[in-house]
Amino acid sequence: MAETATPCRFVVGYALAPKKQRSFIQPSLVGLARERGIDLVPIDTSRRLADQGPFDCVLHKLHAEDWKAQLEDFASRNPHVPIVDPPLAIRRLHNRISMLQVVCELDIPQERETFGIPRQVVIYDSPALTNSGVVGVLRFPVIAKPLVADGSAKSHKMSLVFCRDSLRKLKPPLVLQEFVNHGGVIFKVFVVGDYVQCVKRKSLPDVSQEELECSEGSFTFSQVSNMTTQDPVGVDYYMNLDKAEMPPLSFVTEIARGLRRLMGLHLFNFDMIRDLKAGGNHYLVIDINYFPGSWLIVIDKIAQDIENVG
């Protein structure tokens, strides 16, 4: 009687901040991973990483210098174990200027659909906020974002600013990025290795010229795709989300793979909007984030990759 082969199982160690761990590592996720032959094991960051495991893959979203040293030591001892992703590659995404510079470095044919980034300037000190030579290159409204993008609550705090006088209230260092009307829809593109998935989410509503002329000040928000509105008109506005046309997947995939190649990352997402003034076929990449929250995509792709390697 032929023996039944024992299914291979793989151990993925994960290291996350406590808040992220509570948010992501749900019983349903652990069960789903187990069904796919993957055991999710928490890494004890108070212990030496090289003494833990064995692991078939290490996932992490920690930035401390002692953790980076732990990863380097682990990688030298376990050169065949994938680490997603190397801290040096992640570092570029901690600065909102350097993260978007990589988009300008992409060498991708632009035919029917084109892409770029919004016009933006970096502000390092308060005097620059009143310097017309610096701020004058931008058209209002603008979005003010912290320069540092380290995943903290502070780094997600942004402001939509309608006039130059309101810039005085902001605290540098920060990035001022021109706001572009985009139909209140943001496209979030998740990248896991070669796998690419694009979804649409609600975003800030468009600002008309009439609204701009009569609006003053600014308002603060966090994470555009989670925006809510107190304005009853806004509820109807967001009903158009389902009607929004998705960008061609082939176009999105080309950008995703180009970014992955240039950044040396395997697990990230980027946010993209459609510039309505450009006729509907010009897109702007406005943000790139390491280690997105869509764990189901991550687990499925890891399972496929490990099976292929095995």
Q: Residues comprising the binding site for ATP?
A: 96, 145, 177-188, 203
Q: Secondary structure of the chain: what % helix, strand, coil (to 5)?
A: 40, 25, 35
Binding residues: 20, 61, 96, 145, 156, 177-188, 203, 271, 287, 289, 293
Binding residues for 1D-myo-inositol 1,3,4-trisphosphate: 20, 61, 156, 188, 289, 293
Helices (H), 46-118: 65-77, 87-90, 98-104
Q: CB–CB of 184/238 below 8 Å?
A: yes
Binding residues for Mg(2+): 271, 287, 289
Tell me which DSSP letter residue 92 carries.
Answer: G
Report CA-CA distances (Å) from 79 to 72, 91, 145: 10, 21, 38
Separation between Cα atoms, residue 74 and residue 69, nearest integer Å: 9
Rounded to 5°, the CA angle 34-36-37 comes to 65
Burial of 59: CB neighbours in 10 Å, binned 0-12, 13-18, 19+: buried
HSE-CB for 285 with a 13 A CA cutoff: 25
